[in-house]
Amino acid sequence: MATNLTRLLESSIRSTNAAAVQSSMRLFSNQQQQHQPEDDDEEFRVLNLRTIRQQARRREFKKEAVQPPRTKRMAVDQDWSAVWSGPRSFHPASVPLPLRQGYTERGAAAPSKYANAELMKIPNFLHLTPPAIRQQCEAIKKFCTPWPKGLETEAKWKRTFPLEVVTSDYCHSLPTIRNPEARRVKITLKLSDLQFDAHAKDKFLRLVGERFDRETGLLTFVTDRCPTRKQNYDYALYLLTACYHESFVTEPWEASKSEADMEQYLFERNQAKRSAEAILNWNASREEKVSPPSGYAESVEQLINEGENEYNIAKYKEEVLKLLKIAI
Amino acid sequence: MNFLKKVLPIAETQLNMANKSALHTSAVCCRVQSGRYRITTKRDRPLTYEMANPPHFIGHRKTWNSWNTSTLKDGLRPSQTAIEDVFIRKFITGTWHALVCSEIIIKRQHNTIRIAAIIRQAISPRKMYFLIGYTEELLSYWMQCPVTLEFQTVADKKDVVFKYI
Amino acid sequence: MYLSAQLRLLSRCRLTRHIASGNGTHYTIAASPATAAKEEEEHIEIPKRIQRSSTDLLQALASTVGRDSTAPHYKYHDDPYLIPMSNVAKRTYALSKEAGRKAANWIKEEHRELFLHQEAQPAIEKFAPSMVYTEQSDVDVDSLQQLIDQGELTDATLVYNLLEQKGVAVSDALKQSLLELVCFYNNQEPLPEEYIEERWFLQNSRRRERHGKTWKDGDLAEKLYEAIEPKTPQSYAALIRGMAKYLQCERAYALLQEANERQIQLDTNTYNAIIQIVSYLKDSADQRWQLCSELLQQMADQQLHPNLNTLNALLECISSFGNFKLARSSALKLLAEFKQLGVVPSLGTYYYLLIIFCRERAPVSHVIVDILNEIGGKEFKIQHPKDTYFFATAMDVCRNHLHDKALAKKVNDLLHTGSNYDLVGDSFKESIYYRNYLALLCQTESIEDFMQTYDLLVPNIYIPEPGIMEEILRAVEISGAVDQVPRIWSDMVIFDHTHRESLLLYVLRIMVDNRPNAELPAQQQLPEQCAKVALDMFNKIEESAKRIRKVSFTGQMLGNILTLLVRDAGNTSSFEKASEVFAYIDKQQHRIPGTPADSALLEYVEAAVVHKAPTQALAALQYAVENNMETSALAKCIHDGYTLSEVHLAKLKSLVGEGFLEK
CATH 3.30.300.20 correct for B39-164: yes
Q: What's the pLDDT at A133? A: 94
Which helix (H) or strand (E) segment is C5 a member of? strand C2-10
**CB-closest option in C22, C56, C68 to A241:** C22
Of B155 and A61, the one with more pLDDT: B155
pLDDT lower than 50: segments of chain C: 21-40, 662-663
User: What distance in Å separates the CA atoms of residue C386 and residue C394, rounded to the nearest whole number?
Assistant: 13
Q: How confident is the model at residue A38 (pLDDT cuts 50, 70, 90)?
A: very low
Q: How many CA atoms lie within 13 A of A285 on its CB side?
A: 2
CB–CB contact A166 C66 (8 Å): no
Provide the residue ranges of all domains of chain A, joining segments of one domain with +. Answer: 2-55, 79-145, 154-171+179-252, 265-323
Sorted by where each begins, the domain ranges of chain B are 39-164
List Cα–Cα distances, C368 to A163, A260, C322, C386, C397, in angstroms: 64, 100, 21, 17, 8
Contact by Cβ (8 Å): B47, B100:
no
* Contact yes or no for A61 and B123 at CB 8 A: yes
User: What confidence tier does B12 reach under pLDDT thresholds 50, 70, 90?
Assistant: low
Per-residue model confidence (pLDDT) at position B115: 95
The shortest CB-CB distance from B130 to any of C84, C100, C115 is to C100
Between CA C645 and CA C651 the distance in angstroms is 10
Q: Break chain C into its structural domains and give their ranges.
A: 76-119, 597-663
Q: Which residues touch A66 (CB under 8 Å, ≥6 apart)?
A: B121, B155, C80, C81
Q: Do A172 and B110 touch (CB under 8 A)?
A: yes
The pLDDT value recorded for residue B5 is: 65
User: Would you state the pLDDT for residue C207?
Assistant: 54
Degrees to nearest 5, angle at CA C60 with C55 and C65: 120
C194, C201, C594, C179: which is closest to C427 by C-alpha? Answer: C201
Q: Which of B47, B65, B109, B152 to mutate to test the interface with A (most CBs of A within 10 A)?
A: B152
In sequence order, which residues have a C-beta less than 8 Å from that of residue C410 and are 6 or more positions away? Answer: C372, C376
The pLDDT of residue C124 is 86
Q: Compare CB distances from C97 to B129, B140, B153 and report the shortest one's residue.
A: B129
d(CA C238, CA C398): 40
**C-alpha distance across the termini of chain A, in Å:** 141
C83 φ, ψ to 5°? -80, 125
- Give the gap in angstroms from C-alpha C159 to the nearest C-alpha of chain A: 34
Sign of the Cα pseudo-torsion (C122, C127, C128, C132, in order) = positive
Orientation angle between helical segments C405-415 and C427-444, nearest 10 degrees: 150
Nearest-Cα residue of chain B relative to residue A92: B152
Contact C583, A30 (CB under 8 A): no
Kindly indicate the confidence band of residue A128, based on its pLDDT and cuts at 50, 70 and 90.
very high
Phi first, then psi, for residue A267 (nearest 5°) are: -60, -40
**DSSP helix/strand/coil, C166:** helix
Residues in A 18-47 with any Cβ partner in C closer than 8 A: 27-28, 30
User: Is A49's pLDDT higher than 80?
Assistant: no
Distance from CA of A36 to the nearest CA of B (A): 40
Query: Which of A34-38, A50-54, B74-78, C110-114 has the largest mean confidence?
Result: C110-114
Q: pLDDT at position C204, please? A: 52
Query: Per-residue pLDDT tens for B125-149?
Result: 999 999 999 999 999 999 999 999 9
DSSP string of A106-171, one letter each residue: GGPPPPBSTT-HHHHHSPP-TT--HHHHHHHHHHHGGG--PPPTT--SHHHHHHH--EEEEEEEEE
pLDDT of residue A2: 43
On the CB side of B86, how many CA atoms lie within 13 Å of its CA? 5
Question: How many beta-carbon pairs under 8 angstroms link A with B?
Answer: 103
Residue B116 has pLDDT above 90, yes or no: yes
- HSE of A10 in the Cβ direction (CA atoms, 13 Å)? 20
Q: Which CATH class is domain A154-171+179-252?
A: alpha beta
Distances (CA, A) of A92 to A95, A100, C80: 5, 10, 10
**Cα angle value A96/A100/A101 (rounded, 5°):** 135
More confident call, A243 vs A269: A243
What's the order of all strands across the beta sheet hosting C2-10?
A: A212-213, A218-223, A185-190, A163-171, C2-10
Of the listed ranges A62-71, A131-140, C265-274, the one predicted with least confidence: A62-71
Give the nearest partner residue to A174 out of B61, B111, B152, using CB atoms: B111
Q: Which amino acid is at A126?
A: L
> Is the pLDDT at A90 greater than 90, yes or no?
yes
Residue type, C602: L
Q: How far is CA B71 from the centre of its chain?
A: 16
| Greater model confidence, C481 or A6 | C481
CB–CB contact C98 B134 (8 Å): no
Closest partner residue to A102 (CB to CB) among B49, B114, B124 is B49
CA A139, chain centre distance (Å):
24
Q: In whole angstroms, give the CA distance from residue C351 to residue C389.
A: 6
The DSSP output letter for B65 is S
Query: Would you list which residues of chain A are within 8 Å, Cβ to Cβ, of chain B?
Result: 61, 63-64, 66, 87-89, 91-93, 102-103, 111, 114-118, 120-123, 171-177, 179, 181
3-class DSSP state of A220: strand
pLDDT digits (tens, 9 = 90+) for C168-212: 888 888 888 888 888 888 888 877 777 888 877 776 555 555 567
Residue numbers of A between 119 and 158 with CB closer than 8 Å to C: 132, 135-136, 138-140, 142-146, 148-151, 157
Residue A268 has pLDDT above 90, yes or no: no
Chain A residue with the nearest C-alpha to that of C77 = A91
Q: DSSP string of C119-152?
A: -SBS--GGGSPPP---TT----HHHHHHHHHHT-
Please give the torsion angle defined by the CA atoms of residues A74, A75, A80 and A81, in that order, rounded to the nearest 10 degrees: -90
In whole angstroms, how far apart are CA A320 and each of A8, A300, A311, A328? 131, 10, 14, 12
Q: Of C426, C657, C15, which Cα lies nearest the Cα of A219?
A: C15
pLDDT at A66 over 70: yes
Q: Which range has highest mean pLDDT (A2-11, A284-293, C4-13)?
A: A284-293
Is any Cβ of chain B less than 8 angstroms from the Cβ of C142? Answer: no
3-state secondary structure of B154: strand
User: Which residues in A lie closer than 8 A to residue B104 (C-beta atoms)?
Assistant: none
Helix, strand, coil shares, percent, chain C, to 5: 65, 0, 35
Give the lowest-confidence range in A50-59, B24-33, C58-67, C489-498: A50-59
How close C224 comes to chain A (CA, Å)? 44
Q: What is the ipTM of this complex?
A: 0.81
The predicted pLDDT at position A32 comes to: 40
Band (pLDDT 50/70/90 cuts) for residue A35 is very low
Closest Cα in chain C, distance from residue A147 (Å):
8
- More confident call, C592 vs B4: C592
Q: Which of B137, B140, B149, B156 to mutate to test the interface with C (most CBs of C within 10 A)?
A: B137
DSSP H or E stretch at residue A214: none
- Say if residues C96 and B133 touch (Cβ distance below 8 Å): yes
Label residue A16 by pLDDT band (50, 70, 90).
very low
